[in-house]
Amino acid sequence: MRKVSVFTFLIASAISLQAQQTLTFRNAIKMGLENNLLLNQQKNLLISTGVNRTSAFLQMAPSVSAGGSAGRFDGNSFNQQRGEVVNGQVDFINGGLSASVPIFNGFNQINQYRQAASQNEAQLNFVMRTKQDVIRNVAFQYLTCMLDQQLLKIDRQNLATQKTQLEQIRQQVDLGSRAEADLYNQEFQVRNAELLVVRSSNRLKNDKALLAQTLMIDPIISFELEEVTWGADDYQIESVALDNLTSVATQSRADLKQASNTERAAQLSYYAWRGRYLPNLSGFAELNSRYNYIHGATDNRSFDQQFRSDNRQFNYGVSLRVPIFSGFSNRAQVTQQRVLFENAKLATKNTEVRVKSDVLIAYQNYEDAKASFASAQAQLKSGELSYQMEKERYDLGISNIVQLTTAQQAFVRAQSDFASAQFTLMFQKLLIDYATGTLQEEDIP
């Protein structure tokens, strides 16, 4: 029974290891979102801005503090309990509770709270846009590796075809039905095909290393990429007007919302500093008490009598502060905040223009990718038929090796162009969602 359990555990471990070595598109996106350095840093900053917002809100409530002290006077000191100067050692304990509440401060704290809330919202939108950046970057690198795998597969198939063709020509040369120059030419084609396989393999390894770096995976650990099985209809979008895409982008783009919230935060900061020109009115209340013990005296009252009754004091009232002259420090700060507000407005305007430009470029590139995909499909069919016909003509002795090589190279190039157009169209579909600000992890099939 124990041997069966161990055997089952080994099989489960092997299956788990195999699952870990195969990386799917969705898992790659998930790992990128979990491990990305910049995204995690911005999430930490989001926590900080949330605490700042809470702090700014609570600063509008009364502030309460408690304090106390204990010590000894040695020498002449005024004793509040007796109302006279005492010469000697006097132990004392002080305690107090104080509170203050802002009544009017030029709406300074209200604007500071709104500023902190806008900063928190801006950071939240920054995190959302950073997530979309990670999805875009990981998708690009993953699809690049997928294209590399497809090109490597094409080059290996071409190498196998060239080797098979080399053997056929060698046999024909031995029989005297082909010129020896055809054999030398075909040997060169085999060597060239082997070189292309090596280059394609190296390119795949390099791109997988970059993907591993992005996903924070040890690049030394070998892993395979699951083939993307999208069909042609999966990366086609419905015919949508460019104006509609632009409208969606202006409402959904997180970076535009971030710029707008940053502008609002700068405006509220400007209002908060400008409020310091106005008088400041606040209320206060204090409760204090004291205990004294005179060494050598026989009539010291108890702690409870002094601290709870005799020496207790309660003060309350309002405090008014009117700014008259502060060396232009407030004016300098107000001017600085106004400049920051004006710059934030310019940044928002620039972001609006960039959003519309991104949508236009992504839309045009997608339309170009669709046309390229259709062209590559036609080219692939044409190249395959041309190669098959030229191969039959060469086998019949009607054509020569140069024409066959040309047709074969055109067919291989058509296969590569089709693969490139296919993955380009996939990525351009994602870029449409990225440009409009609607790209989500759930959109990855």
Q: What is the pLDDT of residue 17?
A: 36
pLDDT band at 233 (very low <50, low <70, confident <90, very high): low
CATH topology for 21-61+106-277+332-443 is: Outer membrane efflux proteins (OEP) (1.20.1600)
Q: What is the average per-residue pLDDT within 104-108?
A: 82
Is the model's pTM score more than 0.85? no
Q: What is the spatial distance between Cα 392 and Cα 395, in angstroms, rounded to a whole number?
A: 5
Q: Considering only 11-20, 127-136, 173-182, 368-377, which range has the smallest mean pLDDT?
A: 11-20
Helix H segments across 176-287? 180-214, 242-252, 254-274
On the question of pLDDT at 372 being above 60, the answer is yes
Q: What is the average per-residue pLDDT within 78-94?
A: 77
Kindly tell me the sign of the dihedral angle through the C-alpha atoms of 350, 351, 356, 360: positive
Q: Looking up tokens 């157009």, which residue turns up?
A: 421
On the question of pLDDT at 92 being above 50, the answer is yes
- Closest to 267 (Cα-Cα) out of 54, 125, 123, 118: 118
DSSP-assigned states of every residue in 58-121: HTTSPEEEEEEEEEEEEEEEEETTTTEEEEEEEEEEEEEEEEEEEEESTTHHHHHHHHHHHHHH
DSSP-assigned states of every residue in 350-418: HHHHHHHHHHHHHHHHHHHHHHHHHHHHHHHHHHHHHHHHHHHHHHTTSS-HHHHHHHHHHHHHHHHHH
Q: Output 137-140 pairs: Cβ under 8 A, ≥24 positions apart.
A: 137/32, 137/214, 138/28, 138/29, 138/32, 138/211, 138/214, 138/215, 139/25, 139/29, 139/427, 139/430, 139/444, 140/427
Whole-Å CA distances, 181 to 55, 194, 269, 393 = 85, 20, 82, 18
Per the structure block, which two tokens stand in for 370?
């669709």
Q: Considering only 223-227, 254-258, 296-300, which range has the smallest mean pLDDT?
A: 296-300
pLDDT band at 81 (very low <50, low <70, confident <90, very high): low
Look at residue 128 and give its three-state secondary structure.
helix
Look at residue 223 and give its three-state secondary structure.
coil
- 363 contact partners, CB below 8 Å, separation of at least 6: 242, 245, 432, 435
Q: What is the spatial distance between Cα 384 and Cα 380, in angstroms, rounded to a whole number?
A: 6
pLDDT band at 346 (very low <50, low <70, confident <90, very high): very high
Could you tell me which residue, 171 or 443, shows the higher pLDDT? Answer: 171
pLDDT band at 329 (very low <50, low <70, confident <90, very high): confident
Backbone angles phi, psi at 222, to 5 degrees: -75, 140
**Cβ pair 356, 246 in contact under 8 A:** yes
**Cβ pair 158, 194 in contact under 8 A:** no
- Number of Cβ within 10 Å of residue 317's Cβ equals 9
**Cβ pair 150, 201 in contact under 8 A:** no
Q: What is the spatial distance between Cα 395 and Cα 399, in angstroms, rounded to a whole number?
A: 8
Write down the architecture of domain 63-104+279-322 according to CATH. Answer: Single Sheet (2.20)
Q: Looking up tokens 């799917």, which residue turns up?
A: 24
Q: Considering only 209-213, 230-234, 271-275, which range has the smallest mean pLDDT?
A: 230-234
Backbone angles phi, psi at 146, to 5 degrees: -60, -40
Q: What is the average per-residue pLDDT within 413-428?
A: 86
Q: What is the pLDDT of residue 237?
A: 58
Q: Considering only 27-31, 44-48, 177-181, 268-272, which range has the smallest mean pLDDT?
A: 177-181
- 55 contact partners, CB below 8 Å, separation of at least 6: 116
Where are the chain's structural domains? 21-61+106-277+332-443, 63-104+279-322
Look at residue 285 and give its three-state secondary structure.
strand
